Structure 1
Amino acid sequence: MTDWHGEYPPSRPVRVEGGLTLRSKRGDIARTWWSRRFIEVLESFGMGGRLERGRRYARSGQVMSLSLSTSLVVALVMGSRPEPYRARIGVRKFGDDDWRRIEHALADRAVFAAKLLAGEMPPEIEEVFGELGLTLFPRSLRELSMDCTCPDWEVPCKHLAATCYLLAESFDTDPFEILAWRGRSREDLLDRLRELRDPIPAADESAEDALPRLEDSLDSFWLRPKVPAVPEPEEPVARHPDAILDQLDPLTVLGHSITEELRPLYRRIADA
């Protein structure tokens, strides 16, 4: 039943035991620049006021689960009904050709792989995507889709908004999730960067051709191989035990040559 304004009357959500909650209990939610950037992008689409509705849901543990896969985030959010609502946030993933260009651009700069491995997203990475005509975060609503099974027709509803906040906090914890959302998992991306930065040299076919074939070596297989003659050892060059001192710069202290003072000591050590 609706009121005279045609809106659903406020209702209390069903409490959830063990739901996902935000670490931030007050104030800003995103801690890192990349998760703040994600929230800013959503707000730039005119979602700022609608996002605020989900902040209380996200902090009180109404989100029961959150899963991220390539281009899609799915969350189960408990509202005022006995069954949880399913909230989905999709983004346009990059194709294989785009990812090949991204991987080559990232491999050219070792600092990117190092920072990502340390759990940090370098701010310059947005410039790399921009140089390729791409954006790390959605640039418009056409690259983003949101839907929820709740009866609220506005987007984002409070269930989707709560999902957005938890997604931003998961980006705080692991920046690779942003890249996975766009189509590349951590393992695949890092493996590819290692291949590009340390390629395995191709086998030398000319060297393989120089090896004798087995069928051409059957007659001589059991013969004793010819051992090349060992050259006579050259007579060792005599060296003075104090010769190393000749390689040092002259060192004089109070008119005495330290180098010359050390020579008798070196000779006595050699004699011993």
Structure 2
Amino acid sequence: MPDPDPFWWRDAEPTRPRKVEGGIQINSTRGQVARTWWSQRFLSVLESLGVGGRLSRGRSYARAGQIVSLDIDVGGAVAQVQGSRPQPYQVRLGVPAFGKAEWAAVAQALAEEASYAAALLNGEMPRDIERVFEAVGLSLFPANERDLAMDCSCPDFAVPCKHLAAVCYVLAERFDADPFQILAMRGRHREALLDELRTRRSAAPPPAHGEDLVEAMDRFWVAGDLPEQLAGPRTPPDALLDQVPPFPIEIRGEQVAELLRPAYRALGTEI
């Protein structure tokens, strides 16, 4: 009679994992793990590739600090995750790295748009950066299952297992803090990319419709030619007296305005 519960149906690790002192853990104690759009995008890509449904298996591992070590470099990330066995499991999450020519095309596209360079220099991932990669025939995040390798030395046949899933959560928080680690996995580290952007932007010719700022400042406060005489309607100098209400008293039988009129007219000829 066949075994009603063959070994490949059984949980590969039914016992509690061994406690890790000083292990790597995520800061989120409940709810959503990823805070930035690029980390959320990373996790959503995993879900779109059909592995997202099993990510929750590793959330408790990630929160408990079961990850002994994690290194992110060109081509992906490698980690050690402690399970119930004495030796930690070896975990690898791999993505293809781009070549020199491919990164040159990406850097040129990023340098041509000032907002992209400004965001990266500020430690943020530009919202449209995926379009930049797509325009040169690349994909920043894994595009399909062939673009993502996930391996673990544990006996669990499922991919991702809880150990891989835990690493994915920690990666998401790492990406929150430093989006350049996403680019590093594809083959370009932070300083190398920023140096290339600065070089390409400094070598770019100024826009045809603009002019040098220093030259513009030389003329900024220079006034233009003024007309020799301001043109306008000629108003009699004593016209104001016609707007004044009559005084209630007279001087020697004459209105005060009429006594002042010769003086106003004389002033008008002096101006």
Q: Residues 166-177 of structure 1: matches in 2 within 5 Å?
A: 166-177=170-181
Matched position secondary structure for 2:49: helix
Tell me if 1:81 matches 2:82. Answer: no
Deviations 1:202-257 (A, max 9, x none): xxxxxxxxxxxxxxxxxxxxxxxxxxxxxxxxxxxxxxxxxx9x979999xxx9xx
Deviations 1:97-117 (A, max 9, x none): 111110110010111111112
> TM-score under structure 2 normalisation?
0.72
Paired residue for 1:24, among 2, 15, 28? 28
Determine the C-alpha separation between the residues in 1 that align with 2:149 and 2:42: 15
CA RMSD in angstroms, aligned pairs only: 2.4
Q: Which residue of 1 aligns with 2:212?
A: none
User: What amino acid does structure 1 have at the position aligned with 2:142?
Assistant: P
Q: Residues 62-211 of structure 1: matches in 2 within 5 Å?
A: 62-199=66-203
Q: Which residue of 2 aligns with 1:57?
A: 61
Determine the C-alpha separation between the residues in 1 that align with 2:143 and 2:25: 28
Identity score, percent: 56
Distance 1:117 1:249, change over 3 A: farther
Unaligned runs of 5+ in 1: 202-243, 256-272
Determine the C-alpha separation between the residues in 2 that align with 1:112 and 1:49: 33
> TM-score under structure 1 normalisation?
0.71
Determine the C-alpha separation between the residues in 1 that align with 2:227 and 2:105: 55
Distance 1:75 1:250, change over 3 A: farther
Matched position secondary structure for 2:51: helix
Matched position secondary structure for 2:94: strand
Rg larger for: 2
Determine the C-alpha separation between the residues in 2 that align with 1:97 and 1:60: 42
Determine the C-alpha separation between the residues in 1 that align with 2:133 and 2:89: 35
Structure 1 residue runs of 4 or more that deviate by more than 2 Å after TM superposition: 2-6, 246-251
Determine the C-alpha separation between the residues in 2 that align with 1:52 and 1:45: 15
